[in-house]
Each structure stands twice: as C-alpha cells, then as structure tokens.
C-alpha cells in the first residue's frame, strides 16, 4: 500500500503548491465580482462558474484552500506546542502539577468539542474583520485542541523519566534543564510530530463545521467552511454540480491526510 | 446479620470515586464558565441603557445592579447557590428561564442522540464484526471505504446533504458515530481474533458465530464499553450542526442561537449539562466494564 501513501503525499504537495500560487493561478481575486454573470455555469472564463454574487468559484476555491490548508497546520502547531509545554512539564515534574494538568485535561476532554468551541467563540466579538475572524477561528482551534495531545505527551514524558537512559543521565550528574533539553524533548519528538499531523484533518473539519454554522471565517474571505455554505442555496431547479467542488476537494484532501499519516496515527 | 460482601463495598467505593470526579470536573467547569460570563465584554450592560427616554439617574441605577458589582468569587458562589435551588438563570436573547428552555428542547435532542447512537452502533458494530470475521475481502474493504469517506465529511455538510435529499436529519448523527465505531471496533475485534485461544477454537472446528460470541467479543468488551461512553460525547457534539441545518428544535440549535446572540449564560449552562451527561456516560461505561475486566483477570 506504499504507492497509495505516495499518491496521497503527491496530491497534498500539488494542492498546497496550487493554493500557494493562487495569486498567479487564479483568474480573479476572491472578492472580485462579475455582476453581469451571477450564478453562471462553468465556461472558459469561469472554470467552475460564478456564485450568486458573481464571484469566480475557481478563484475562491483556490484562495479558500489556501486559508484552510495554511492555517490548519498553524493551529495544529500551536496545539502541539501547548501540549508539549503543558504535558511535558507535567510528566517531567510530576506530583501536584501532573495531578492538576490531568484534571484540566479531564475537563477539556469531557466538554463536547463543538459545544466548547462555540461557547468560547461566542465570548469573543462576532462582528470583526475577515482577517480577525480567520485569526480568531484558527487560534481558538489551536488553543483548545491541546488536551488529548497533552495527555499522551505527559504519559510519554513520565515513562521517559523512569527509563534507563534518563536514569543513566541522572547518575552521570545531568539534571534540570539539561536533562530536559538533551534527553526528554528529543525523545518526545516522534509523539509530538504524530500529534501535529493528526490534528490537521481534525482542525480542517472543525473549521468547516464552524464556517457552515456562520461562526467561522467572515465574508468575503473564503475558507472551506464559508465555501461550503453555498450548498445552503443548492436547489434542484438551478442544478449546479460545481457547488460541490469545495466538498469534493475537502473530502479528497482530508482522505489524503489520513492516508499519508497512517504511521503517525498508529504512533499517536 | 449477614456480613457485607467485600465486592459490594469495592463497587460502592468505585461509584463514590466516579461521583467525586464528576463533581470536581463540574465545579471546575462551572468556575471556568462563570469566569467566562463575568469577564465577557458587555457583561451587565442592559439594552435598556440605550433607551433615550431614560433619565441619567435611571441609567445609573441600571448600571449599579448587584450582578455587575459582585467580584468573580462572589459571582460564582451566587451562581452555585442559584444552581442548588434549581435556578439556571434566564436567557438574555430569548427572555425565558433556561430551565424552561431545557425542558422544552432537551427531549428533542435526546431523541436524536438516541436514534443516532442506535443506528451508528448497530451498523458500525455489525459491519466491524462482519469485516473481522468474514473471509471475503470485499466486505471489509467496502465497509472500510464507506467509514473512511464518512470520516472525511464534516457533520454540517452531511446534514446539509440530508436536507437537500429530504431525508430524516436525525440519521446524520448515526453517520457521524458510525465510522468511529467501525474503525475502533474493527481493529479491536481483528486483534482479538488473532489471539492464540481464538485460533485454537477455530482449529478445533468451532463455527464463526460461536467463536465471535464466546471468544472474541468478551475479550474486546471492556474497550467497546469505553467507546460507548465516548460516542455519547460525539453524538451530542454532532447534534449542533444537525439540529441547526435540519431545523430540529433541540439544545444543539439552542446553543447555536445562544452563540450568535452572545447569550453566554445560556451557553455555559447548556455546555455544563452536556458535560454532565458525557461524564455520567463515561463513568457508567467504566463501571459496566469493570466486572468484565475482573472476569477476564
């Protein structure tokens, strides 16, 4: 099954390159309106047609993919760093700190993910600029998604502290920060990488859910969540299969992430 | 007088431990929630202050209401005391007691979640058993592909597709739960099916059904019960987009309306109630799995 994994990675690289080069590849900007052709069918000028405001769907798909594909890994990086910091410290120091961190992770893991997200999202202002909304959405994902990863990191750090290598290092006089930097953190890297990679598809899907509920990235900035909202206006009378393009791309991309990270999923 | 069974007191101790854990987590969560409500921008500001007909004295009186002046610990204590009296506060956006809103909407969500969980577990476990025990490759492959595709579709999109297809929206919760159940149950059952005693049973000529029911399922039962607890949380989380997009008047839709209206008091109460249910489901699953684990030991 190695070739499937390679194909998935190739697809992810291709789609990431295309969206990074959106400024050159896209025929229009994401907010440019072609007011004489709203709801247009696919043509040579508009490969996926236009939406009800006359914006080019292909361009919006490229820019939306860029937002989701760049910021979901950024949120995953933030949550992995938080997990490393909180879980690593708890596992390394142990005692009351570990008990407190475990209680906090218990609390976070007991709260249903979407309930927690919309509660904290509602705490922040809703009528903000598109850039602020995109920052808030992905920062929230990063800040609230650390709990499960921290639990794994804490357990691993605890196991490492009791391992022979750390015992030997302690016996040779290595302690404190040096022990942490030279022996604990490098050995936690594989788990942290795994947590980082498995968080990406989770955050992509969560952003899509938030976007469809109107609590994600604000218009006119596109993201997969806001692009999928167009499905709400889908009707059998004005059948436009191109409205499903963001959904197809989302499903294929998330599938590719799952396929490319089978090893990481096993490790996590 | 009969001497007390040590097993009974052990079980009671376990139940007590779980109850204490639930209480601690809820108190912590309640405190965080109360902090969120108290520190939220606009807390204590009444829309009535915008009424130009009000005099300066009236506006001043509104601003000096007791809720605004209390400190965070006092606010939390007040919140807890209210909670002990069964008062969950009043929704700012809907101008109705939270308790009344819950009484009206909770049964709807329970119906959706129960149906979704039943459907998800029935299909997920049935397909996992079929895939783990069947020697026909395409059954497992087909189920695996279906579960993998469903795992990659956001709950809101599935709900929207059901609305477009005019299908019953409650089933979406089942489709959200199904892939997780299938993947986890399949890997558990497949691992259990490779254990030496199962291979011996097969070698002795026992039928697939007997091997599954007597040798494979009992080994996987504790973890499957733990998964049952987790699936409740999944189902409640999926209820938000499903109820919003399929227009089902449950607490998911209520939470969404509260989020859009920044009705934090209602939102925090809803989150705490769902958390309580999740914790109780997890504890019940853990307690139910204990006798199975002890039996194995």
What span, in angstroms and rounded, lies between the C-alpha atoms of A61 and A44? Answer: 16
Give start and end residues of each alpha helix (H) in chain B: 6-39, 56-63, 66-69, 72-84, 98-133, 137-151, 155-164, 171-193, 196-203, 208-211, 217-245, 251-260, 264-296
Mean pLDDT on B45-72:
63
Q: Specify the pLDDT at position B121.
A: 94
Choose the closest CB to B29 out of A111, A113, A255: A111
Confidence of residue B24 (pLDDT cuts 50, 70, 90): confident
Q: In the predicted model, is pLDDT for residue B13 greater than 90? A: no
Interchain pair B237, A107: CB under 8 A: no
Q: Is A215 on the interface with B (CB under 8 A)?
A: yes
The Cα A248–Cα A254 span in angstroms is 10
Residue A189 contacts B where some CB pair is shorter than 8 Å: no
Largest CA distance in chain B: 91
For residue A88, how far is the Cα from the chain centroid? 22
Please, what is the average pLDDT of chain B? 82
For residue B233, the enclosing domain spans: 100-260
Of B152, B240, B260, the CB nearest to A114: B240
Residue B240 lies in a domain: yes
With tokens 């973890």, the residue in question is B223
In 3D, which of A213, A247, A211 has the Cα closest to residue A226?
Answer: A211
* Residue from B293, B278, B290, B228 nearest B14 by CA: B290
Q: What is the mean pLDDT of residues B2-9?
A: 64
A65's tokens: 């993919």
Coil/strand/helix, residue A108: helix
Could you give the dihedral angle defined by the CA atoms of residues A213, A216, A218 and A223, in that order, rounded to the nearest 10 degrees? -100
Judged by CB atoms closer than 8 Å, whether chains meet at A107 and B21 is answered as: no
Burial class (CB in 10 A: 0-12, 13-18, 19+), A43: exposed
B260 CB neighbours in chain A (<8 A) are 122, 126, 214-215
List the one residue out of A82, A206, A161 whose CA is nearest residue B155.
A206
Going by C-beta distance under 8 Å and a sequence separation of 6 or more, which residues neighbour residue A159? none
Q: Which residues of B touch A258 (CB under 8 A)?
A: 148, 151-152
Among B29, B42, B150, B154, most A C-beta atoms within 10 A, so best to mutate, is B154
Tell me, yes or no, whether B110 lies in a domain: yes
A235–chain B nearest CA distance, Å: 7
**Minimum-distance CB partner of A212 among B238, B241, B259:** B241
- The confidence score (pLDDT) of residue B221 equals 86
Element (H, E) at A88: helix A57-93
Total domains in the fold of chain B: 1
Comparing CB atoms, the residue among B29, B154, B234 nearest residue A205 is B154
Residue B235 lies in a domain: yes
Supply the ipTM of this predicted assembly. Answer: 0.84
B241–A119 C-beta distance less than 8 A: no
Mean pLDDT of B13-40: 79
Burial class (CB in 10 A: 0-12, 13-18, 19+), B133: middle
Is residue B53, in this structure, part of any structural domain at all? no
Q: Is the CB of A36 inside 8 Å of chain B's CB atoms? A: no
Return the exposure string of B162-185: e unless at least 16 CB atoms fall within 10 Å of the residue's CB, then b.
bbeeeeebbbbbbbbbbbbbbbbb
Residues in chain B with CB shorter than 8 Å from the CB of A232 are 160, 245
What confidence score (pLDDT) does residue A252 get?
93
The whole-angstrom separation of Cα A154 and Cα B215 is 35
Domain CATH number, residue B193: 1.10.3720.10
Using CB atoms, which residue from A118, A120, A212 is nearest to B154?
A212
Q: Could you say which of B25, B154, B244 has the minimum Cβ distance to residue A107?
A: B25
How confident is the model over B232-289, as pLDDT tens digits?
988 988 999 999 999 899 999 998 888 888 787 788 888 888 888 888 888 888 888 7
Q: Is residue B246 part of a domain?
A: yes
With respect to residue B71, please indicate whether it lies within any of the assigned structural domains.
Answer: no
How far is B269 from A161, CA to CA, in rounded Å? 41
Which residue of chain B is at minimal alpha-carbon distance from A228?
Answer: B157
Q: Is residue B44 part of a domain?
A: no
User: DSSP assignment, residue B4?
Assistant: P
Q: Which chain A residues are within 8 Å of B271, Cβ to Cβ?
A: 111-112, 115-116, 119
pLDDT at B258: 87
The per-residue pLDDT for A60 is 93
**Band (B43; pLDDT cuts 50, 70, 90):** low
Q: What is the pLDDT of residues B71-129, one digit of tens each?
A: 767 777 777 788 778 788 888 788 888 889 989 999 999 999 999 999 999 999 999 98
Output the DSSP codes for B60-82.
Answer: HHHHT-HHHHS-HHHHHHHHHHH
Distance from CA of B37 to the nearest CA of A (A): 8
- CA-nearest of A106, A95, A67, A105 to A204 is A67
How many CB pairs lie under 8 A apart between chains A and B? 129
B235-to-B155, B177, B181 alpha-carbon distances in Å: 10, 7, 12
The chain A residue lying nearest B156, using CA atoms, is A209
Distance from CA of A239 to the nearest CA of B (A): 12
What pLDDT was estimated at residue B276?
A: 87
Where chain A has pLDDT below 50, the residues are none
- What percentage of chain A's residues is helix, strand, coil (to nearest 5)? 75, 0, 25
Asked if B156 lies within 8 A of A103 by C-beta distance, the reply is no
| Contact residues on chain B for A114, CB-CB shorter than 8 A | 237-238, 240-241
| A181 and chain B in contact, CB less than 8 A | no
Residue B211 has pLDDT above 80, yes or no: yes
- Judge whether B236 lies within some domain: yes
């Amino acid at each position: 099954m190695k070739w499937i994994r390679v194909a998935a990675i190739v697809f992810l690289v291709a789609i990431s390159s295309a969206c990074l080069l959106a400024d050159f590849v896209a025929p229009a900007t994401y907010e440019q309106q072609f007011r004489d052709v709203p709801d247009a069918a696919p043509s040579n000028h508009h490969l996926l047609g236009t939406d009800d405001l006359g914006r080019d769907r292909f361009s919006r798909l490229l820019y939306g993919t860029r937002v989701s594909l760049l910021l979901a890994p950024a949120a995953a990086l933030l949550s992995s760093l938080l997990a490393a910091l909180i879980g690593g410290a708890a596992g390394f120091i142990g005692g009351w700190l570990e008990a407190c961190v475990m209680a906090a992770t218990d609390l976070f893991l007991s709260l249903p993910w979407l309930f927690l997200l919309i509660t904290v999202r509602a705490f922040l202002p809703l009528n903000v600029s598109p850039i602020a909304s995109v920052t808030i959405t992905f920062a929230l994902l990063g800040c609230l998604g650390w709990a499960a990863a921290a639990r794994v990191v804490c357990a691993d750090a605890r196991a490492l502290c009791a391992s022979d290598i750390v015992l030997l290092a302690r016996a040779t006089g290595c302690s404190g920060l040096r022990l942490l930097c030279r022996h604990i953190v490098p050995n936690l890297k594989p788990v942290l990488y795994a947590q980082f990679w498995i968080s990406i598809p989770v955050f992509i899907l969560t952003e899509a859910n938030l976007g469809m509920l109107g609590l994600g990235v604000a218009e006119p900035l596109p993201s997969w969540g806001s692009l999928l909202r167009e499905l709400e206006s889908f009707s059998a009378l004005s059948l436009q299969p191109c409205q499903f393009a963001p959904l197809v791309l989302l499903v294929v991309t998330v599938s590719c992430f799952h396929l490319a990270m089978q090893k990481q999923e096993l490790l996590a | 007088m009969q001497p007390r069974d040590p097993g009974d007191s052990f079980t009671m101790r376990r139940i007590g431990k779980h109850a204490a854990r639930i209480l601690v987590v809820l108190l912590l969560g309640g405190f965080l929630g109360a902090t969120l409500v108290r520190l939220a921008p606009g807390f204590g500001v009444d829309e009535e202050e915008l009424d130009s007909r009000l005099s300066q004295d009236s506006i001043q009186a509104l601003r000096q209401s007791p809720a605004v002046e209390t400190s965070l610990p006092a606010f939390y204590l007040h919140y807890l005391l209210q909670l002990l009296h069964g008062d969950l506060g009043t929704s700012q956006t809907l101008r109705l007691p939270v308790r009344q809103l819950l009484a009206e909407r909770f049964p709807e969500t329970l119906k959706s979640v129960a149906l979704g969980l039943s459907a998800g577990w029935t299909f997920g476990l049935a397909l996992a058993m079929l895939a783990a025990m069947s020697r026909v490759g395409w059954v497992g492959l087909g189920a695996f592909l279906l579960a993998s595709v469903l795992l990659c579709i956001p709950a809101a999109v599935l709900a929207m597709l059901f609305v477009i297809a005019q299908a019953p929206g409650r089933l979406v919760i089942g489709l959200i739960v199904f892939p997780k159940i299938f993947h986890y149950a399949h890997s558990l059952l497949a691992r259990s099916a490779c254990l030496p005693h199962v291979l011996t049973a097969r070698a002795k000529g026992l039928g697939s059904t007997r091997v599954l029911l007597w040798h494979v399922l009992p080994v996987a039962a504790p973890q499957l019960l733990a998964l049952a607890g987790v699936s409740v949380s999944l189902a409640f989380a999926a209820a938000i987009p499903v109820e919003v997009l399929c227009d089902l008047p449950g607490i998911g839709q209520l939470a969404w309306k509260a989020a859009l209206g920044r009705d934090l008091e209602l939102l925090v109460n809803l989150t705490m109630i769902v958390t309580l249910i999740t914790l109780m489901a997890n504890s019940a699953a853990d307690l139910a799995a204990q006798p199975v684990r002890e039996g194995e030991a």
